[in-house]
A and B are shown apart, each in its own frame.
Chain A
Amino acid sequence: MSQARVIASSPFKKKGELAPPRRKLKTPWLFIFLCMSPWLFGIIFFTAYPMISSFYQSFTKFNLIESPKWVGLENFHRMFFEDSDFWQALKNTVWISVISIPLRIAFAMFTAWVLTKPKRGRNIYRTIFFLPSMVPAVAATMAFTYIFNPAYGPINRMLEAIGIKEPPFWFLDPKWSKWGLILLGLWGIGDTMIIFLAGLLDVPTSLYEAASLEGASGWQSFRYITLPLMTPVIFFSTVTGVIGSFQYFTQAYVASGQVNDYSHSMYFYATHIYFSAFRAYEMGYASALAWVLLVITLLCTLVILKTQKRWVHYPNGSLFK
């Protein structure tokens, strides 16, 4: 009676005679295959085949109507030596990555840090900070190009009211348009901030208490406790930031459509691929551009990965356990 109850209450926790012997289960390969098949076929149709195909096409001239014609390295030659739009797009993309990735990380860290402070009301503030990242990119961009418009947008009126004499023309000025896009990105910082917030809340409070007993200043405990423990999050955001900035499209496309960006100040790498493929129908050339993008992204990621030993601290060992 009592034995039976033991088995019924915790059959597996107790090792020994009481628990029933654990059967070795056969691996259900058919079930595994069936379950994985949506992903597997997805990988074949939408990733593997397209990758091979676009690699081949990058060495061809192909306009969708006639069949692809082999041209060797001509696409790459054209890209590097004849296509000024390519260099413009690359320059803009590098510029916005270099400026916006560190800014985004700093701003995410700052907003998350501010959120850890209050004892009450944190969730309300968190909701407000997170909300803009949910707004559809098209709507957000339209709103920004409108409210930042120097002629009829209210933002510049507010800037004038606080004493800025000649506020910039934002999206209408090629020198300032990218800053408009950066502000738009910072407004939608919410999802990055949530990751930073989770990281900050994970730092054991005992470390801060120990530091303050030792007489560390606020800056010192930030520099020597918070920052090292946040390096995995910073590392992760840098990698995703680099990958993301080479795919930066919707906001730039919508904004340049709203303001007629003749000087191509908001013409980025992904825009160049889009225009080459779907406006000029130069599929071969666009594939070459896409492969160069992949190589650049991979190289940047590798460089960041190589440096990670020097500055990223994993408290529990490696990233994949």
Chain B
Amino acid sequence: MSTMTLDNRARIEAQSRQARSKKKWNSFLHMVGNHSLLIALSVVFIMPLYLVIVLSLMSKGQAETRSLWPHPFVWHNYITVFTAVPFLKWTINTLFVALMGTIGTVVSSVPPAYVLSRLQWKGRHTTFIFLLSTMMLPGQVTMIPVYIIFSRLHWIPSFLPLIVPSFFSSAFSIFLLRQFFTSIPDEISDAARIDGCSEFKLMMKIVVPLAKPAISAIALFAFLGSWNDFFGPLLYIVENEDLWTLGIGLNAFQGIHHVDKNMMMTASALFMAPVIIIFFFSQKVFIEGVTLTGVKG
């Protein structure tokens, strides 16, 4: 009797061990399957970037042979590009416009977002819905009269049409900031108000420091939006070569006769590099920003 129970128990244990190892094996197979799919997709996503870097390191002759590996490595391309075209000037121009635009966006978007989220007032909700609906408006409808305004002001070609509008808030940035400000508990503001703190001080000394992640998110989006912008510079600065940004310069590459194809990839790689570096250091901010609003800049 007792031996039978023992036998039984042993059998059950063996079975469950088997089941467990089978389950383990199954989940291992699942893991392998998932990761191979993910790695395959990663290869697809990385491939164009890989090819750009590889092509940027090839000699002029080799870049036209469909090779997949530089032989020899022409590191000198990355120096030549600065002398073949005014690459440094383009970079400085792009950086200047992007930085000014970022400052403008942050300075002019924080106050409206504060008022729309931290204060109760009549018409607040309507204003917010109106603001959201302006985000959906196609830029083409306003583009021509805005161009005419700037041309009447004799601001074309100059950086002003690219910078000045950012000092008039961006609906997207207000939206993102507002979503974040709303999550800060009201008790903090109430306590400060009871102590006689003015609204302006409350905004600058309490809410802004608490909202650093959201503010850095809109700053990053504004910077990259401007860094990657092509249409604005195409309208406003294309006539004066001294003002060209990286996007305009790069697009004009094939018109510049003494520049080779491999050099084009070198310049592209240099154009992408800052964006990629910034992204690696701040991807959390980006991803939260996109998740919070559902749109990118």
Contacts and interface: CB of A to CB of B under 8 A. Distances in A.
Interface of A: 11-12, 20, 22-23, 25, 27-29, 31-32, 34-36, 38-39, 41-43, 45-47, 49-51, 53-54, 57, 64, 111, 114-115, 117-119, 121, 125-140, 142-144, 146-147, 151-158, 187, 191, 194-195, 198, 236, 240, 243, 246-247, 249-250, 253-254, 257-258, 270, 273-274, 277-278, 283, 286-287, 289-291, 293-294, 297, 301, 320
Interface residues of B, number: 93
A56 B144 CA distance: 12
Contacts, number: 251
Given A31-B115, A45-B168, A143-B48, A51 B141 contact: yes
Given A35-B115, A64-B148, A152-B64, A146 B142 contact: no
Contacts of A134: 224, 275-276, 279, 286
Identify whether the interface residues of A are mostly helix, strand, loop, or mixed. Answer: helix
A191 B111 CA distance: 27
Nearest to A152: B64
Contact of A195 (B145, B265, B290): B290
A305 to B, nearest CB: 12
B169 A51 contact: no
B84 interface: no
Given A20-B194, A114-B38, A240-B295, A136 B275 contact: yes
Contacts of A54: 141-142, 144-145
A154 B62 CA distance: 12
For the complex of A and B, list the 3 residue pairs with the smallest distance between their C-beta atoms, beginning with the closest: A42-B168, A35-B111, A50-B145
Interface string B153-174: 0000000000001011101001
Contacts of B127: 36
A29 B121 CA distance: 8
Contacts of A247: 138-140
Interface of B: 31, 34-35, 37-38, 41-42, 45-46, 48-49, 51-52, 55, 63-68, 108-109, 111-112, 114-115, 119-122, 127, 129, 131, 134, 136-149, 151, 165, 167-169, 171, 174, 187, 190-191, 193-194, 199-200, 224, 227-228, 230-231, 234-235, 246-247, 250-251, 253-254, 261, 264-265, 268, 271-272, 275-276, 279-280, 283, 286-287, 290-291, 294-296
